[in-house]
Amino acid sequence: MIAELGLAALWLAAALAALQLVAGVLGLTVRGASLGDAVRPVAIVQGLLALLAFACLVYVFAVTDLSVKLVALNSHSMKPLIYKIAGTWGNHEGSMLLWVTVMGLGGGFVALVERRLPERTMLATLAGQAFVSLGFYGFLLIASNPFERLSPVPAEGNGLNPLLQDLGLAFHPPTLYLGYVGLSIAFSFAIGALVTREVGPAFARAMRPWVLGAWIFLTIGITAGSYWAYYELGWGGWWFWDPVENASLMPWLAATALLHSVSVLASRDALRAWTIMLGVIAFSMSMIGTFLVRSGILTSVHAFAVDPQRGTFILVLLAIYIGGALALFGLRAGTVAEGERFAPVSREAALVFNNVMLCAILGIVLFGTLYPLLAEAMGAKVSVGPPYFNPMSALFAVPMLVVLMVGPLLRWRRDTFARVGRLLVIPAMLVIAAGILVVVIGGAPLLPFIGLVLAAGLAWASVLPLKGRNLRRVPLPVWGMVIAHFGIAVSLFGMSSESAFSIEKLVALRAGEVTQVGPWDVKLDSVEPVAGPNWTALEARLLVRYGDDGKVTQMLPQARGFWAPPQQTSESALLTRWNGQLYTVLGGEAPAARQAGDRWQLRLWWKPFAPLIWGGGLLIALGGVLALLGRAAADLKRISVKDKIASRRERQGR
Partner 1 sequence: MKRLLLLSVAIALAAPALAQEAQSTAPYAYRQLADAAQEARAQRLMETLRCLQCQGQSIADSDAPIAGAMRSLVRERIARGEQPEAIRQWLIERYGDYVSYAPQLTGLTWPLFALPVVLALVAFLLLRRRFTRRKSA
Can residue 353 be called a binding residue for partner 1 (CB under 8 A)? yes
Can residue 538 be called a binding residue for partner 1 (CB under 8 A)? yes
CA–CA dist 612, 490 (Å, integer): 6
Please state the closest distance from residue 443 (CB atom) to partner 1, in A: 12
DSSP state of 66: T
Can residue 378 be called a binding residue for partner 1 (CB under 8 A)? yes
Residues pairing with 270 in the sheet: 339
Can residue 630 be called a binding residue for partner 1 (CB under 8 A)? no
Contact window for partner 1 (CB under 8 A) among 276-284, 299-307, 327-335, 618-626:
299-307
Please state the closest distance from residue 380 (CB atom) to partner 1, in A: 5
Which CB sits closer to partner 1, 59 or 235?
235
CA–CA dist 108, 113 (Å, integer): 9
Do the beta carbons of residue 406 and residue 350 sit within 8 Å? yes
Please state the closest distance from residue 561 (CB atom) to partner 1, in A: 3
Can residue 342 be called a binding residue for partner 1 (CB under 8 A)? yes
Is the backbone peptide bond immediately before 174 cis, with ω within 30 degrees of 0?
no
Q: What is the DSSP string of 482-502?
A: HHHHHHHHHHHHHHHHHHHH-
Can residue 533 be called a binding residue for partner 1 (CB under 8 A)? no
CA–CA dist 613, 493 (Å, integer): 7
DSSP state of 411: P
Which CB sits closer to partner 1, 361 or 489?
361
Contact window for partner 1 (CB under 8 A) among 62-70, 216-224, 343-351, 426-434:
343-351
Contact window for partner 1 (CB under 8 A) among 375-383, 428-436, 459-467, 643-651:
375-383
Give the orientation angle of helix 36-62 with respect to helix 119-138, to 10 degrees: 30
Q: How many residues bind partner 1 (CB under 8 A)?
A: 70
CA–CA dist 176, 169 (Å, integer): 11
Which CB sits closer to partner 1, 243 or 630?
243
Among 55, 508, 556, 618, binds partner 1 (CB under 8 A): 508
Among 36, 221, 311, 368, binds partner 1 (CB under 8 A): 368
Which CB sits closer to partner 1, 104 or 243?
243
> In degrees to the nearest 10, what's the CA dihedral of 151, 156, 161, 163?
160
Among 334, 468, 566, 653, binds partner 1 (CB under 8 A): 566
Can residue 357 be called a binding residue for partner 1 (CB under 8 A)? yes
CB contact burial 253-271 (16+ within 10 A = b; e otherwise)? bbbbbbbbbbbbbbebbbb
Overall size of the chain counted in residues:
654
Among 396, 479, 486, 605, binds partner 1 (CB under 8 A): 396
Can residue 59 be called a binding residue for partner 1 (CB under 8 A)? no
CA–CA dist 393, 390 (Å, integer): 6
Amino acid at 506: L
Contact window for partner 1 (CB under 8 A) among 138-146, 423-431, 475-483, 531-539:
531-539
Contact window for partner 1 (CB under 8 A) among 50-58, 503-511, 576-584, 623-631:
503-511
Please state the closest distance from residue 593 (CB atom) to partner 1, in A: 6
Can residue 343 be called a binding residue for partner 1 (CB under 8 A)? yes
Please state the closest distance from residue 551 (CB atom) to partner 1, in A: 28
Nearest CA-CA partner of 603 in 506, 476, 494: 506
> Quick one: how far is CA 65 from the chain centroid?
32
Tell me which residues in 248-277 interact with partner 1 (CB under 8 A): none
Contact window for partner 1 (CB under 8 A) among 100-108, 227-235, 318-326, 609-617:
227-235
CA–CA dist 236, 224 (Å, integer): 15
Which CB sits closer to partner 1, 19 or 364?
364
Please state the closest distance from residue 610 (CB atom) to partner 1, in A: 15
CA–CA dist 47, 49 (Å, integer): 6
Q: What is the DSSP string of 427-457?
A: HHHHHHHHHHHHHHTT---HHHHHHHHHHHH
Please state the closest distance from residue 393 (CB atom) to partner 1, in A: 9
Cβ-based burial of 413 (10 A; exposed 0-12, middle 13-18, buried ≥19):
middle
> How distant, in Å, are the alpha carbons of 174, 352, 580 from that of 6?
19, 47, 48
Q: What radius of gyration, in Å, describes the C-alpha atoms of the chain?
A: 27
| Residue 43 CA neighbour count, 13 Å, CB half | 34
Contact window for partner 1 (CB under 8 A) among 69-77, 160-168, 311-319, 586-594:
586-594
Among 341, 510, 642, 648, binds partner 1 (CB under 8 A): 341
Which CB sits closer to partner 1, 155 or 378?
378
Among 166, 198, 307, 504, binds partner 1 (CB under 8 A): 504
CA–CA dist 95, 559 (Å, integer): 29
Can residue 340 be called a binding residue for partner 1 (CB under 8 A)? no
Among 386, 421, 443, 550, binds partner 1 (CB under 8 A): 386
Among 244, 262, 403, 522, binds partner 1 (CB under 8 A): 244
Do the beta carbons of residue 342 and residue 268 sit within 8 Å? yes
Among 371, 398, 543, 629, binds partner 1 (CB under 8 A): 371
| Residue ranges that bind partner 1, judged by CB under 8 A | 233-235, 237, 240, 242-244, 299-302, 341-344, 349, 352-353, 356-357, 359-360, 363-364, 367-368, 371, 375, 378, 380-388, 392, 395-396, 504-506, 508, 528-531, 536-538, 559, 561, 563, 566, 568, 570, 587-595, 601, 603
